């Protein structure tokens, strides 16, 4: 009997213990009923390490004490918010970091109506990028070309009158300046374009159709494209992208996954004028070379060699015209000779191209096209010495030319190329 009583008591006590263990605590149930609130207050414990977003520098809201400077670290939101994939975190991070560096440009110009002989006012829009806290804005030249008034709208909606302080029509670049307070200006981080690769992810931010600070994503589709920007002037090393670029995006930044400026969106290939998945951007390395000259001098200061025109041949570049008393002429280079013959009362002139020098190399590097030659010269500085290898009367000669300082070169044309 004692044994049976002991078993019965043990069974009763065991059942009570099981019921006590399986009864959930009220506060635990309340937390589970509101998982969104729980996630916002504190992360749920997990056996796995918390998923962290990619460590890219993002810029949070402006801190009055820090002047709105970049934090230089990943925002805690991206580390803890499990609603974002790593790819989405990069997208959001790039936008948060750079969107305040993008401005909306509004221009007003006048156009003459040929039929009614009336001046009509036209309004245009484009995009730009804040370069520094002194108010310098980088954009395309065609955005502000022939503009009578230029206004720049910042991220906070404030609009400032802008002045064009420098322009490079050949490379479709221009620099504006606004007198906005430093705390309103968020300069973009400068990248570099020489190490870009096809397939690399890119971001375009601009104002398509007036929709301010719109971001699109894509990849680099190709590199080193040639693009005729003005007339027959060809710009090399253009970046081709498939990110959506539409009217109003011109002059806006092309960014890499770290939010660094790698290009300036400038054109699209389209029959309708809208995005077709083929866009083009000027590489930032070209802009980095030209912009300081635009700020300092208002125009690009390019090295001048004093050769105005050349003929492209299979062997090299045949000089078609020299600048009188220019660097090449002073170095002894020869162009075509003009032969005059009298025919009765008439004097006929004939150009003898066989007397012109044939340029085959620059500093030992073979040159085939006028664009190659011009790009080589433009990469140098005024006062620099270059050695040209030429063919003269079937003899190979070396001629040293000290580069001068000149303005933008003329626009090349067809087979006869202008330098």
Most confident listed range (27-36, 60-69, 110-119): 110-119
Does the pLDDT value for residue 408 go beyond 70? no
Catalytic residue among 75, 168, 172, 242: 172
The DSSP code sequence of 363-406 is TTEE--SHHHHHHHHHTS-TT-EEEEEEEETTEEEEEEEE-EEE
The proportion of the chain whose per-residue pLDDT surpasses 70, expressed as a percent, equals: 72
CA dihedral over 307, 311, 313, 319, signed as positive or negative: negative
Whether pTM exceeds 0.75? no
Q: 67-71, 78-82, 162-166, 260-264: which range is least confident on average? A: 67-71
d(CA 411, CA 86): 47
pLDDT of residue 81: 63
Tokens standing for residue 145: 């070309």
Host H or E run for residue 182: none
- CA-CA-CA-CA dihedral for 381, 383, 389, 394, to nearest 10: 140
Instruction: List the catalytic residue out of 75, 101, 127, 142.
Output: 142
For residue 105, count CB atoms less than 10 angstroms from its CB and return exposed for 0-12, middle for 13-18, buried for 19 or more. Answer: buried
What pLDDT is attached to residue 212?
A: 87
Angle at 202 between CA 232 and CA 255, to 5 degrees: 80
Annotated catalytic residue 81: no
100-110 pLDDT, tens digit per residue, is 999 999 999 88
Please say if 250 is a catalytic residue: yes
Q: What percent of the chain has pLDDT over 90?
A: 43
Catalytic residue, from 168, 250, 275, 371: name it: 250
205 touches 98 (CB < 8 A): yes
Tell me if residue 75 is catalytic: no
| β 189-190/260-268 pair status | parallel
- What are 213-255's pLDDT values in tens digits? 899 999 999 998 877 766 556 677 889 998 888 888 999 999 9
Q: What's the length of the chain?
A: 419
Q: What's the mean pLDDT when you consider all of the chain?
A: 77
Question: What is the rounded average pLDDT of the residues 73-81?
Answer: 50
Task: State the maximum Cα–Cα separation within the chain, in Å, rounded to a whole number.
Answer: 154
pLDDT, tens digit, for every residue of 125-148? 999 999 999 999 999 999 999 899
Residue 47 scores a pLDDT above 50 = no
What is the structure's pLDDT at 79? 58
Nearest-angstrom CA–CA distance, 277 and 166: 31
Question: Does the pLDDT value for residue 19 go beyond 60?
Answer: no
Domains of the chain (ranges; CATH) run: 189-297 (2.40.10.10), 302-418 (2.30.42.10)
Between 361 and 269, residue with greater pLDDT = 361
pLDDT digits (tens, 9 = 90+) for 184-221: 999 999 999 988 999 999 999 998 888 888 999 999 99
The Cα 78–Cα 61 span in angstroms is 14
| Closest to 251 (Cα-Cα) out of 190, 188, 175, 180 | 175
| Cα gap 39→196, rounded to integer Å | 39
Banded model confidence at residue 163, pLDDT cuts 50, 70, 90: very high
Does residue 417 carry a pLDDT above 60? no
């Amino acid at each position: 009997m004692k044994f049976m009583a002991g078993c019965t008591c043990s069974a009763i006590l065991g059942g009570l213990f099981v019921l006590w263990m399986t009864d959930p605590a009220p506060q635990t149930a309340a937390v589970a009923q509101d998982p969104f609130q729980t996630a916002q207050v504190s992360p749920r414990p997990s056996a796995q390490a918390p998923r962290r977003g990619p460590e890219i520098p993002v810029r949070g809201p402006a801190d009055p004490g820090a002047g709105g400077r970049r934090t230089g670290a990943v925002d805690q939101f991206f580390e803890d918010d499990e609603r974002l994939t790593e790819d989405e975190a990069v997208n959001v991070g790039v936008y948060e970091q750079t969107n305040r560096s993008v401005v909306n440009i509004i221009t007003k110009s006048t156009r003459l109506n040929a039929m009614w002989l009336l001046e009509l006012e036209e309004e245009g829009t484009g995009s730009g990028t804040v370069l520094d806290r002194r108010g310098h804005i980088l954009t395309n030249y065609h955005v502000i070309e022939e503009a009578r008034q230029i206004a720049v709208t910042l991220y906070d909606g404030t609009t400032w009158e802008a002045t064009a302080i420098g322009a490079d029509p050949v490379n479709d670049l221009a620099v504006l300046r606004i007198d906005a307070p430093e705390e309103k200006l968020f300069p973009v981080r400068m990248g570099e374009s020489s190490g870009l690769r096809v397939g690399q992810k890119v971001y375009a931010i601009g104002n398509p159709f007036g929709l301010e600070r719109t971001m699109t994503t894509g990849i680099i589709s190709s590199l080193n494209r040639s693009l005729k920007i003005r007339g027959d002037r060809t710009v090399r090393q253009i970046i081709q992208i498939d990110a959506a670029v539409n009217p109003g995006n011109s002059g806006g930044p092309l960014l890499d996954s770290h939010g660094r400026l790698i290009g300036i969106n400038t054109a699209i290939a389209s029959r309708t004028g809208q995005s077709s998945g083929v866009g083009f951007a000027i590489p930032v390395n070209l802009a980095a070379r030209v912009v300081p000259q635009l700020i300092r001098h208002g125009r690009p200061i390019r090295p001048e060699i004093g050769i105005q025109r050349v003929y492209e041949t299979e062997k090299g570049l045949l000089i078609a015209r020299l600048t009188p008393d220019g660097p090449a002429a002073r170095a002894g280079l020869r162009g075509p000779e003009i032969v005059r013959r009298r025919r009765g009362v008439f004097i006929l002139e004939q150009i003898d191209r066989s007397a012109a020098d044939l340029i085959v190399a620059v500093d030992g590097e073979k040159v085939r096209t006028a664009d190659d030659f011009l790009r080589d010269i433009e990469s140098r500085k005024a006062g620099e010495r270059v050695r040209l290898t030429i063919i003269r009367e079937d003899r190979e000669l070396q001629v040293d030319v000290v580069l001068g300082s000149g303005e933008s070169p003329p626009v090349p044309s067809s087979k006869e190329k202008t330098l």
